[in-house]
Amino acid sequence: MNQHGGKDNAYAGFEQGPIRPPSEAYSLLIRVTRNCPWNRCTFCPVYKGARFSIRPVEHVKRDIDSVHRYVQTLRQLADESGRVSRTEIGRAFENVEPGDWQVFNVALNWAAGGMRSVFLQDANSLVIKPARLVEILTHIKMRFPWVERITSYARSHTLARMKDDDMKAIRDAGLDRIHTGLESGSDKILEMVAKGATKEMHVKAGRKVKRAGIELSEYYMPGLGGRTLSEENAIETADAVNQINPDFIRLRTLAIPDRAPLFEDHRAGRFEKCTDVTVAQEILTFVERLEGITSIVKSDHILNPFGDLEGTLPHDKERMAALLRTFLAMTPERQRLYQVGRRLGIFACLRDMGNPQKLANVENAYQELGITPDNVDKVMDQLTKRFI
């Protein structure tokens, strides 16, 4: 039985998984596999308790065909500027087949977002046989020939074992970008959090993706080593990405949701979480060590302490380092104000501290929350939980 209560070989209707990268917010989500075939990373709560399964290619194609059917309907209803009126949408909705409301909504949202990209779910689509993935990609291209980008998550463990020819075939069939959770380049940390990958494996996998002509997003998790391994996390991760030269380095600062196995270690005192100040120091060390690469650094997640810590290497390296040094040179009181403002969503970046209205709002919240040097990190953890 699958998680939808049906046998794995019986089509249970259109499916979507729980997550996608923030950069795929407007992508059509096509579920190729369910959940995560590894599922052991201690910092990750997403698929815990859910069994991994591969969806039959025919089911995935039926999903694609269903979206295609409603996309075609919406296109026929569009006026010359490409817009569909609410009245027309209401009429179209009345003709949606029973059981197709979800897929109609998916088509509607994708159409509203411009229908430019597709993201393959869930955690590791590359784990299926390459020929099957090629078949799915070919079907997407056939149904939606205008799509500019098709992307997927994939584990380094899977990628490192793939043949170059298979990777190339997947690229030729239309996969443009792979998102990989590198998290850390430190073998000590990777083992500690049960990532199921080594630094060498990460480097091998990343280089293979690049060699095939597929864009690569590598996710770095500042704070994953805790206080004791914070510096090592920065140094080893910078060394790994220097060897890979991914197209994107995406920062994803550690948060510890209650559902993650790491939460127990944290609660029992076996894992000492970094403060925002330690994380800033770690990211500074990381940035300072990036050498000889042309990656784009992105900070596209609310969990990151600095929303504007972005740029293209090597050009923006010094600017990014300067931003972090500015924060680290601030008085502890100003640092706390910034932390509170960021976690409340009032500040997006350090620059916002120069906005008198925003600063006044944060100062009020600071008083109301009763922030002190002793409780600031605990309160920040509580505020962070709203985002995870």
Positions touching ligand SF4 (CB under 6 A) are: 36, 38-41, 44, 46-47, 123, 155, 181
CB atoms within 10 A of CB 47: 20
In Å, how far are 67, 159, 175 from 166, measured between CA atoms? 28, 10, 12
Give whichever of 38 and 286 is closer to ligand SF4, judged by the CB atom. Answer: 38
Give whichever of 40 and 91 is closer to ligand SF4, judged by the CB atom. Answer: 40
Considering the complex, what minimum distance in angstroms separates the CB of residue 46 from ligand SF4? Answer: 5
12: nearest Cα among 31, 28, 37: 31
Considering the complex, what minimum distance in angstroms separates the CB of residue 160 from ligand SF4? Answer: 14
Cis before residue 122, ω within 30 degrees of 0? yes
**Strand bridging mode 117-121 / 28-31:** parallel
Hunting for tokens 């990381």 — which residue is that?
Answer: 286
Give whichever of 39 and 242 is closer to ligand SF4, judged by the CB atom. Answer: 39
Considering the complex, what minimum distance in angstroms separates the CB of residue 152 from ligand SF4? Answer: 12
Give whichever of 53 and 138 is closer to ligand SF4, judged by the CB atom. Answer: 53
Considering the complex, what minimum distance in angstroms separates the CB of residue 189 from ligand SF4? Answer: 13
d(CA 9, CA 54): 10
In Å, how far are 27, 87, 114, 178, 264 from 82, measured between CA atoms? 18, 15, 10, 31, 52
280: nearest Cα among 250, 305, 300: 305
CB atoms within 10 A of CB 237: 30
Give whichever of 182 and 324 is closer to ligand SF4, judged by the CB atom. Answer: 182
Considering the complex, what minimum distance in angstroms separates the CB of residue 291 from ligand SF4? Answer: 27
Answer whether 340's CB lies under 8 Å from 369's CB.
Answer: yes
DSSP E strand stretches across 196-347? 215-220, 248-251, 296-298, 311-312
Considering the complex, what minimum distance in angstroms separates the CB of residue 128 from ligand SF4? Answer: 15
Give whichever of 219 and 338 is closer to ligand SF4, judged by the CB atom. Answer: 219
Task: Supply angle C-alpha 334, 288, 236, rounded to 5.
Answer: 110
Considering the complex, what minimum distance in angstroms separates the CB of residue 348 from ligand SF4? Answer: 26
Would you say how long the chain is, in residues? 388
**Sign of torsion over alpha carbons 218, 24, 59, 76:** negative
Considering the complex, what minimum distance in angstroms separates the CB of residue 185 from ligand SF4? Answer: 16
Q: What interhelical angle do 130-143 and 164-173 show, nearest 10? A: 10
Give whichever of 17 and 226 is closer to ligand SF4, judged by the CB atom. Answer: 17
Considering the complex, what minimum distance in angstroms separates the CB of residue 197 from ligand SF4? Answer: 9
d(CA 227, CA 340): 21
Give whichever of 254 and 371 is closer to ligand SF4, judged by the CB atom. Answer: 254
Give whichever of 108 and 251 is closer to ligand SF4, judged by the CB atom. Answer: 251
